[in-house]
Structure 1
Amino acid sequence: MKENRLRVLKDRLVLLAVDESGMSTVEYAIGTIAAAAFGAILYSVVTGDSIVSALTNLITRALNTAV
C-alpha cells in the first residue's frame, strides 16, 4: 500500500517536471511586452524632429515638382 502511494507520488512529480503547458502563456507575455517596447521606441523615433522634418521636406519636394 505504501509503495503504491510512493509510486503515484513519483509519477505525479515526474509529470509536473515535464509539463510545459504554461510555457506558451509565458512566451506570449514576453512577446507582447517586446512588441510594446518596440512600438514605443519606433514611435519616439518617428515622431522625433529630424524624422518629421525629413518627411515634410520629402513631401514638399514631391508636391512642388515642375512638370
Structure 2
Amino acid sequence: MPLPSAARRAHESAAPPGHPAEAGHGPRECEDLVVAVVRGRRVLNYNEPEAAVLQLTDRVIVVKSTA
C-alpha cells in the first residue's frame, strides 16, 4: 500500500536514520524537537506508544532552532 502524499513528503524530508546514541531513547530525549518518527513506511506521532523508544533505523521529523 503506497504512502499518502503527506506521509510520502514527510518521509522524503525526514532526517537520516538516528544516531546510535539516540537508539533506545525516547523522542523527547533528542537534542532537536521531534514531532514524528518514520518507522519503515509508517509515520508515527512522537507521543504514540510505538514511538516511545527510538530504533536505529528510525527517521525523525524535527523542528530545528535557527538561533
**Smaller-chain TM-score bracket:** under 0.3
Structure 2-normalised TM-score?
Answer: 0.20
Q: Choose between structure 1 and 2: higher helix proportion.
A: 1
Larger Rg over CA atoms = 1
Q: Choose between structure 1 and 2: higher strand proportion.
A: 2
Choose between structure 1 and 2 for higher RCO, CA contacts under 8 A separated by at least 6 residues.
2
Structure 1-normalised TM-score?
Answer: 0.20
